[in-house]
Structure 1
Amino acid sequence: MTTTERVPAALDERTLADDALLRLGQTLKEAGYQFTTVTPATHERVNRRPANAAARDLRDVFGWSRPFAGSVVPEAMLSLLETADAVEQRGDLRRSRVRFSSYDGELFVHSAFPTERADSVFLGPDTYRMADAAIAHVTDRAEPVRRAVDIGCGTAAGAIAVAKRAPGAEVLAVDINDTALRYARINVALAGTPGVRPCRSDLLDDVDGPFDLIISNPPFMIDPAGRTYRDGGGPDGNDLSLRIVDVAAERLAPGGSLVLFSGAGIVDGHDPLRAAAARRLAGTDLTWTYREADPDVYSEELDGEAYARAERIAVVVLTVTRPR
């Protein structure tokens, strides 16, 4: 390129930053990096230990989000972090603004801990459970998935897991969070799953047609702070989950299914999400199953006012199917 030529518009700062994050993920993958993301409460407890005040290795930097000295991160990786504008100064140390987590043989970029920003993109235990449920459903289907969508895709871990088991399928990864869609595009490239197409949509309002498979792991907590990635809406935190049930009832193709991973605060043995879903599905042609994937999670939330009446918080899988 001569000095008089202009850099093409496609090679703007965001494109260069995204390419740097992709190359960083590829470099970590080649180095054998792996990290399983835990719940925020566990993450905070582990990082609180005095010995964990600063990073000692790449898992500390890109998994545990600990501040690091320059010598901990190879120069090439540090350069990629800087190009991606994904590193910040913490006194004499620096800290990565992104994490990389492992699932299903892939690496996924997402937001650093703590995920306090409204546009934070979180991957963790619920992501693993949701994607596991989606994989099990695709594996057990008698017919192949031709068209699928991951609603509120976040990192697109669920969409990528489906695409790997449904070769040739069109898989949409939709979200209203632009940061999530950015990370989803990077993760799709990192996984090598071109059948996954991240796109902006409020639920399915901005995409057309029926689907053989709809998967979702929406926010389901009662969050007084109203954080987008966490607050499920309504008095029980279930409004968004129920909206997804309504949308699926309209957009499932014959033989198609919704696999919804959500949660509910159980009050005096009563599950408000199950009861509300049953009311919505009554009188339709849809069949459904509902199970608790884990009966007791996020117990620290029981100390807060939002869950003062709950005896436990359960995570659940609702599967809804339209007959042929």
Structure 2
Amino acid sequence: MNEINNGDFIVINNNRMEESEFVKLNVGGSVIYTTLTTLRKEKDSMLGLMFKKDSTWKHAKDENGCILIDADPRYFLVILNFLRHGEIIIEPNLNYYGVLSLARYFGLNSLTDLIDNEDDNKNSWTSLMEENFLTSEIDHNKWAVTREAGSSNFSLEEGRFKFINRVYLVSKDQFNPEDGEIRITGIWTKETPDDFFQICTRSDGKSQGSPYFEAKSGVEFHYSRGQAAIIGRGGLVPSGVVKIKKQGEFFFGVGVPVHFEIFDDGCTVSFSLWENTHNTSIEVETTCTNKNLINYIIIHNREKTSTTNQASWLSNIKVSRWNKSTPRRNRYRRVHEKKMNLNTSI
């Protein structure tokens, strides 16, 4: 049985795609016009497979015959524009990480590489350490674990490290940003609603002790109660004004994986957090030129409060170093900020 979608755009014959250049999509409630040539630009991506010639993909349609795509139309338009022109165009108030998340979902590797790599070159970062916590015991060649308070504890389960009541995870190696900019990425997931996320660079690996067991020294990247901050410990006071690059509070619930990214080049430091459940993010940046003779990385959570235990999970952590002689370009300068109209034909 032949089914014609609005007569003018696309023909689906027994779920097989036949040639017809124009197509009409319903993306998250917005009608978007585009072409099969655009959608097939990356043939091995999900979009390429969905709309390839003789595709057997079963397309759901709305009452007007538009092919349904369950995605945010603002992010989808960025993807379509990239497929057509090879450029990234993001409006100023659009969530940068939402575009990256959707590009990954559709398997658009050329777009994710362009966004995710600071100079569009994967070889610009040298991996110094990767940890997926896949074994039942801590790798003592990479980490030392200290229980800073009497109730502190930890466990490793299903590729994640669990922090309980201010346990310290301290790198065995030192990572001096003066040897090249340091980048730290990973995923943090709260198990209790009031827990904090704290990670330090340029640290001696020790705590201040009772009552709160904060880090003794270092540049601390801190999230608590909807706010991200960069704090100096032990005299390493940020020398610049903290700039909020993504405005607003950033709350995430228990069980929501939150991605983080930290940069420290010995002068400029930045801290980004984003989550894909509600496509929200926050980023702060400042300068800190104070040096430390010891440069461990510390990761820890909050201390026990009253009778309430605090717990969170860490996974997929990676530490890399910028290996180019020229400074890294700020990724936001590579993104063209132009207004986009959802009702414009693409």
Q: TM-score, normalised by structure 1?
A: 0.30
- Asked which structure has the greater RCO (Cα within 8 Å, sep 6+), the reply is 2
Larger Rg: 2
Higher helix share: 1
